[in-house]
A and B are shown apart, each in its own frame.
Chain A
Amino acid sequence: MIIDKKTQKYDRQLRLWQASGQTALETAKVCLINGTATGCEILKDLVLPGIGSFTVVDGKIVEGSDVGNTFFLVSDSIGTNRAQAVTEFLQELNEDAKGFHFSEDPVALIENQPEYFLQFSIVITTDLPEKPLLKLADTLWNAKIPLVIVRTIGFIGYFRIVLPEHTVVETHPENVIDLRLDVPFPALEQYVNTFNFETLDSMDHAHVPYVVILLKYLKQWKQDHDGKLPSTSAERNEFKQLVQSGRRNVDEENFDEALASVWKACAATKVPHHVEEIFKNSSCDSITIESSNFWIIARAVRDFVSNEGLGLLPLAGNVPDMKADTSNYVAMQNIYRQKAKEDISAVRTRVHDILNSIGRPAEFISDDEIDSFCKHASFIQVIRYRSLQEEYITEPKKLDIGRWLQDPQANIVHYVLIRAMDRFYESHNRYPDAATYFLEDDTEEVSEEAKNEFNTLKTYVDNLLREWEITNYPEHLDNHIHEICRAGSSELANIASLLGGMVSQEVIKLVTKQYIPMNNTVIFDGVRSTSSSYIL
């Protein structure tokens, strides 16, 4: 077997999102609005793992300050189109990713031709003012295209994901064990019955899989307790004693494993709460030709649970490693796998019936997709993001913001400042920029203009707080207003790169539909070296 060059090149990431994730990445078309330092860093971290294509939309001409904080520019780039200059340098990183540039002012493009952005699978904006941002967000929302809004100012980074709905099957949970110890299925019970502990020699006795040990004693317990499992901690301890009594000597590791799993064994297997909520969703009720594969399979699984699944999700079929001899372990593994196969097959039939009812062919959803859904059924996720309209206009999170702002360590303060900065920009066509902070014993005070800058920005902060009905002004805001004036919309390479990493990671999650993306805003504070997530 010869491993091809591409697999070798991407080996370290394929171990995280496998070939399926890589294919999704390679077919994604990402658009970056404004080739800022942060924008380029985001693209760098998407081009390297092999995003399908990237398009930079930017009407600016490269200046000296851009060369200072952007690795994908050189002094010879000064005076050329920024979109083209950064695209050429980014393209060098990976020939698998196709780079395009469009030297057009994005604000004008959004105003005159918003449908331009509908060709992409995801759009990322950096340094885009509020008005065009809201329009772009609307356009993409209606087309269900994810939008990621990114800002960096001085030591602060902010980003927000906007998307009506994101569904994930492969969430990559750390622990996926589902052994059904409380409700063994018939084939598993039969298998346990083949063991007669008394007649086993000491070698075999020390190699009985702990699953068998627990099932054997649970059966005995249930017989003595009206079919009930141990439920209180006293009962669990009593049950532990029972298991312990079967042990021949202290060296039997399989009994150690059994005792360590008593707590898990006594917990009832059931549909997790968050999955029940997903089943209750209206998208699960009304399946139409518009329904996504996720909702079609979810509906099939829901029907499975309330029928042949007897109230349980399809079995995942994984068995963790445990002390056992090979043949017993493999036999037991096959019993779980067989049951998983039967469950999947039942779900598949239901999926095909649903597809038939909406006039789709059976092969519309692949067997692999159904397989994967069934194996991850306990861990599926649906994220409904709030729209930017809701956040900015119709339903701002007034109460939450007011509450969060009371904590001087909370990073929500940066959100308030960013929104105030945007208001400042709206009226001045520039961002606040002045040395407004001074110490009491300073001989030189700050200039009148600088004081004005501080006061103007503070007015916008006050306005926002008033709109949000936040009556008590948090004192610590003043220092952050000073810091924003000091930063003067500067973009530091380190913060740009840090945000580049965070944003690209979330873009990869959205595009591959693997792992769980953040919801919906992350703010990084490079002064305190902390970050926070908020639903705004």
Chain B
Amino acid sequence: MAEIQMQTDVPTPQDGLEQTNKKCPDRWSHLYKILDRRGPFADPSFTPGHGEEILLNTCKVLVIGAGGLGCEILKNLALSGFKNIEVIDMDTIDLSNLNRQFLFRPSDVGKPKAKVAAEFIMKRATDVKVTYYHGKIQDKDDDYYLGYQLIICGLDSVDARRWINATLVNLVDGEPERIRVLVDGGTEGFKGQARVIIPTITSCYECSLDMLSKQRTFPICTIANTPRLPEHCIEWASVIQWPKERSDIKMDTDEPTHIQWLYETALKRAKEFNITGVTYSLTQGVVKNIIPAIASTNAIIAASCCNEAFKLITNAQPYLNNYMMYTGNEGLYTYTFEHQKKPDCPVCGNERVSMEVSKEITVEDFIEYLQEKQDIQLKKPSLSHANTNEKIYWQSPPFFEQKTRPNLEKKLIEMVKQDDEITVTDTTLPISLQIVISYI
């Protein structure tokens, strides 16, 4: 990749390297065959014989997430010759992680994932330096992210991925040397995807929001009045009964006694309505929104991400342009394609979004519409008039929220005329969206 700037001021674990080379001759012989020899498919900029200086000594990589994908990614990078790795994760280790997060042992339960993972990798592969940060990605600033050549993301949270994606796109700021490539992986059961995002050049994570499977939700009136499924009874226990009966205690879905209470409450309701199928495991699955996760899918997706990272950094082969989908429940299939940039993407696009809404729509309903729209999915949108800067509704700070709250009941047309533009921001995401309104 021509755009990637090599950083030469990085301290290298030279001593460790020399020691290992002595102790472990030919260690990298598999890699060097690829790195020392020209290949028919290699990028034209590939120069054989520079593997060690490019890969082994100078490249700094950031790994976001030390969970199912993160453990695999760290291992693969260490075995692919990467020597300077940082890992960020805010979680601690849970017993249910151990069926796939292979850097953790039962005695590690409760400890920070980032720390245990980093230390394990360094213990096993002695010549790699893995630093860690146990905390949120949002704690770090632009300079921090600029310090890495490549960022590999193995997260299970859509919000965190939207945040890092928007941050990296905003980082570019018109200067190509500020581009930091994002390799993103995600899994769900037997399915997953790996993709390469070159901020401002290729499509970004936000461009593809509408590809996410929609989270299953249950209408509140069904839960309250006409339950039919065991899930309806569980939602009733957690959404309606908990606040009613245990308002003094904050529900913690990691607390077994809380799940037990929800399970028993749901079971009672199910019995009353002759509904079968409420189990402890289902209760846990519904209230924690558990997504099945297995070692094999994580291995496939993480390996694909690291293969792309290796190709991006060494130029030894062309890298993925830009999306690989994987599904393994029926046979085994991948689908590789170029996901197209969305011209009106709120993060990387430069076109304004046009929306047609009813003349009757209230500000409150319009906000709800923005939250539910599959390709936008804002969490807590704040609206201002783009031309006048007048605040339509702001979620925070509390002072402005109170001041603009009366506007919620107003019709949008009272505040925004035909073809006027609204600026939408979201406190949870570093994005700003321009919407041109027309009424129907």
Contact = CB atoms under 8 A, between A and B. Distances in A.
A505 B332 contact: yes
Q: Which of A154, A492, A516 is packed against the most chain B CB atoms within 10 Å?
A: A492
A213 to B, nearest CB: 16
Contacts of B144: none
A70 to B, nearest CB: 8
A295 B280 CA distance: 35
Interface in B151-202: 189-190, 194
Interface residues of B, number: 84
B420 to A, nearest CB: 31
Contacts of B292: 12-13, 15-16
Contact of A49 (B40, B226, B280, B294): B294
Contact of B100 (A48, A490, A530): A48
A155 interface: yes
A475 B208 CA distance: 38
Contacts of B40: 437, 478-480, 482-483
Interface stretch (A120-128, A142-150, A318-326): A318-326
A502 interface: yes
A418 interface: no
B150 to A, nearest CB: 14
B249 interface: no
Given A64-B26, A75-B126, A490-B30, A498 B303 contact: yes
A476 to B, nearest CB: 10
Given A490-B29, A530-B336, A435 B38 contact: yes
Interface string B28-67: 1111011011111100000010000000000000000000
A172 B329 contact: yes
Among B34, B285, B290: residue with most chain A CB under 10 A: B34
B37 A326 contact: no
A508 interface: yes
Nearest to A486: B37
B79 A71 contact: yes
Interface in B259-315: 260, 263, 273-275, 280-281, 284-285, 290-304, 306-308, 310
A322 B219 CA distance: 12
A64 B27 contact: yes
Interface stretch (B17-25, B239-247, B358-366, B377-385): B17-25
Contacts of B26: 63-65, 68
A45 B295 contact: yes
B27 to A, nearest CB: 4
B29 A5 contact: no
B300 A502 contact: yes
A154 B34 contact: yes
Nearest to B38: A437
Given A12-B293, A64-B25, A326 B273 contact: yes
B124 interface: yes
A44 interface: yes
B285 A15 contact: yes
Which of A7, A154, A494 has the largest count of B CB atoms less than 10 A from its CB? A494
A515 B37 contact: no
A529 B320 contact: yes
A75 B281 CA distance: 44
A68 B79 contact: yes
Contacts of A522: 332
A67 B27 contact: yes
A487 interface: yes
Contact of B190 (A10, A155, A515, A526): A515
Contacts of B113: none
Contacts of A49: 99-100, 294-295
A329 B295 CA distance: 39
B294 A326 contact: no
Interface string A352-388: 0000000000000000000000000000000000000
B129 interface: no
Interface string A51-68: 000000000000111011
B299 A527 contact: no
Interface string B79-113: 11000000000000001101110100100000000
A491 interface: yes
A110 B329 CA distance: 33
Interface string A123-166: 00000000000000000000000000000001100000000000
B275 A330 contact: yes
B7 interface: no
Contacts of B27: 64-65, 67-68, 75
A458 B41 CA distance: 18
Contacts of A487: 33-34
Given A8-B96, A531-B332, A16 B296 contact: no
A504 B30 CA distance: 23
Interface string B334-371: 10100000000000000000000000000000000000
B324 interface: yes
Contacts of A529: 194, 304, 307-308, 320, 324, 334, 336
A103 interface: no
Contacts of A500: 296, 299, 303
Contact of B330 (A8, A321, A325, A515): A515
A99 interface: no
Interface string A9-36: 1111111100000000000000000000
Contact of A491 (B30, B72, B301, B302): B30
A3 B307 contact: no
Contacts of A527: 41, 317-318
A368 B300 CA distance: 34
Interface in A306-357: 321-322, 324-326, 329-330
Nearest to B32: A490
A526 B300 contact: no
A330 B296 CA distance: 39
A501 interface: yes
Contacts of A322: 228
A44 B320 CA distance: 27
B425 interface: no
Given A12-B99, A68-B31, A439-B38, A326 B275 contact: yes
Given A63-B26, A326-B273, A438-B38, A69 B290 contact: no
A207 B96 CA distance: 41
A531 B38 contact: no
Contacts of A68: 24, 26-31, 79
B135 interface: no
B331 A516 contact: yes
Interface in A477-515: 478-480, 482-483, 486-488, 490-498, 500-502, 504-506, 508, 515
A326 B227 contact: yes
A530 B26 CA distance: 30
A501 B256 contact: no
A433 B290 CA distance: 48
A510 B277 CA distance: 29
A500 B75 CA distance: 14
A403 interface: no
30 contacts: A3-B281, A5-B95, A11-B290, A12-B294, A13-B100, A14-B281, A15-B292, A16-B190, A16-B292, A16-B294, A45-B295, A67-B27, A68-B29, A68-B31, A71-B75, A75-B126, A154-B33, A329-B226, A437-B38, A479-B41, A486-B39, A487-B34, A490-B34, A492-B31, A497-B72, A502-B300, A502-B332, A505-B297, A515-B329, A528-B336
Given A49-B294, A155-B307, A526-B317, 15 more contacts: A1-B260, A49-B99, A65-B29, A75-B20, A172-B329, A326-B275, A437-B40, A480-B40, A498-B299, A498-B300, A500-B296, A501-B303, A527-B317, A528-B318, A529-B324
Query: Which 3 residue pairs across A and B have the least CB separation, nearest first?
Result: A501-B299, A493-B79, A498-B303
Interface of B: 20, 23-31, 33-34, 36-41, 48, 72, 75-76, 78-80, 95-96, 98-100, 102, 105, 124-126, 189-190, 194, 225-229, 256, 260, 263, 273-275, 280-281, 284-285, 290-304, 306-308, 310, 317-318, 320, 324, 328-334, 336
